[in-house]
Copies of this chain bind each other. A is one copy, B any other.
Amino acid sequence: MPVSYYTPTRVVFGKDAISELKTELKLQNATKVLLHTGGSSAKKSGLLDKVISILDESNIAHVELPGVKANPRLSLVREGIALGKKEGVNFIIALGGGSVIDSSKAIGYGLKYDGDVWDFYSGKAKPVASVGVGVVLTISAAGSEMSDSSVITNDEDGWLKRGCNSDVCRAKFAIMDPTYTFTLPPYQSSCGTVDIIMHTLERFFHSGYGISLTDNLAAALIKTVMVSGKKVLENPEDYEARASIMWASSISHNGLMQVGNENRGDWSCHQIEHELSGMFDVAHGAGLSVVFPAWARYIYKAHAERFAKLGNLVFGLEGDNEKVALETIEKFEEFFSSINMPVHLSEMNITLDEKTMEKLLDKLTNNNTRTLGIFHNLKREDMKKIYEIAQ
């Protein structure tokens, strides 16, 4: 039996949380920091300068590595490892969202490993150590600020997108100021909303035993995020809604939503989506918004009771299980559409011709060496049908 809940991340949450960065860095004994960032938004907003001035005040040296893109790439991770080794970095600050954090975690692993960091993502090796990562969060979506997860895309060899889960990479601290997400564009905000809901749903669809408390917390989280996700489209500076979404992003993926359940949940939708976003570079949340309804429509009749339970808890639906199950899927589709997320691949201008489909399936099955899902096991032909429904 593994540890069921372990969230050592020191969370500083609220307006002006950044004022605690100095204290947190001191606690970590950081002396030379790799400051890892994405595009130019942190520079534009002044947050990058703020962090640098705090490092300077604290007499902590730093080296910058910007340039993380959505679906963070192995080539930049390798660059970060080389830079960190050369510069003698002993702490990493991830300033950004899930992509920056995941890239930072990968660099953290690599700095403590003599082999190839991809070993941890291909499953060849398990991480046993990492340089510490601290987060200054600017996007609510991936939940990587508290999760044990990091997902990297191998842009050097076949664009495989693979994850690595280990407690070793959990962030030491997370500075979470909801006002940093006020400037997030509507599309990215909605992608975050879907991602948070899906991190909760993947765990809801576990197999075996579970507990009502975790089901009820999951439903409360999903309902809150649905309300808040709409609110931030109407008013991007709605502090309360941004705050609820930001905290939901963390607790949807830190393990809370699986406590007492027999296992970590299904995760097929994430795998099916990872290959899409690896190949077409679509935003993860938008990809999930397409994949979940397709997956659910393909399997729900075999699991009508569980889908109906979800529909009852989230939407108050009652009645025949199979009927309620389908209504539940439709309700999620309606909600995703209402926040301008796609529910079909065609809405993202993606067409899967025969050749592309087979390539996707080769990657998704690791050349026919793996199946997916613990709630509902999927073979290659099932995955194909789900992609077809998604079109």
Q: Tell me the residues in window 188-244 of chain A with beta carbons closer than 8 Å to chain B beta carbons.
A: 209, 211-214, 216-217, 219-221, 223-225, 227-228, 240-241, 243-244
Bound Cα distance A19, B3 (Å): 11
Bound Cα distance A228, B212 (Å): 9
A4 touches B14 (CB 8 A): yes
A240 touches B211 (CB 8 A): yes
Complex contacts, A118 vs chain B, CB 8 Å: none
Identify which of B1, B3, B219, B260 contacts A244 (C-beta below 8 A).
B260
How many whole Å from A277's CB to the nearest CB in chain B? 27
Considering the complex, give the chain B residue whose CB is closest to the CB of A217.
B220
Residue total for A at the interface (Cβ-Cβ under 8 A)? 44
In the complex where A211-B247, A212-B244 touch, is A7 in contact with B7 (Cβ < 8 A)?
yes
Give 5 A-B contacts (CB < 8 Å), ordered by A residue.
Answer: A3-B10, A4-B12, A7-B7, A216-B223, A256-B256
The verdict on A67 contacting chain B, using a C-beta distance below 8 Å, is no
A216 touches B212 (CB 8 A): no
A224 touches B216 (CB 8 A): yes
B212 touches A240 (CB 8 A): yes
How many whole Å from A108's CB to the nearest CB in chain B? 19
Bound Cα distance A289, B225 (Å): 33
Complex contacts, A20 vs chain B, CB 8 Å: 1, 3
How many whole Å from A77's CB to the nearest CB in chain B? 28
B1 touches A5 (CB 8 A): no
The verdict on A16 contacting chain B, using a C-beta distance below 8 Å, is yes
Please give the count of copies of this chain that the complex contains.
2
Most buried by B among A16, A213, A243: A213
A13 touches B259 (CB 8 A): yes
Interface residues of A (CB under 8 A from B): 1-14, 16-17, 19-20, 176, 209, 211-214, 216-217, 219-221, 223-225, 227-228, 240-241, 243-244, 247-248, 251, 256, 259-260
B212 touches A221 (CB 8 A): no
Bound Cα distance A129, B243 (Å): 33
Considering the complex, give the chain B residue whose CB is closest to the CB of A210.
B240
Complex contacts, A11 vs chain B, CB 8 Å: 3-6, 259
Bound Cα distance A275, B228 (Å): 42
Bound Cα distance A221, B247 (Å): 17
Complex contacts, A219 vs chain B, CB 8 Å: 220
A12 touches B3 (CB 8 A): yes
Identify which of B3, B4, B13 contacts A5 (C-beta below 8 A).
B13
**10 further contact pairs, Cβ within 8 A, besides A14-B260, A247-B259:** A3-B12, A3-B20, A4-B11, A4-B17, A6-B8, A209-B240, A213-B224, A213-B247, A216-B224, A220-B220
Bound Cα distance A216, B226 (Å): 13
How many whole Å from A310's CB to the nearest CB in chain B? 14
Complex contacts, A251 vs chain B, CB 8 Å: 256
How many whole Å from A259's CB to the nearest CB in chain B? 6
B212 touches A13 (CB 8 A): no
Bound Cα distance A217, B214 (Å): 10
Complex contacts, A10 vs chain B, CB 8 Å: 3, 6
Considering the complex, give the chain B residue whose CB is closest to the CB of A241.
B212
How many whole Å from A208's CB to the nearest CB in chain B? 11
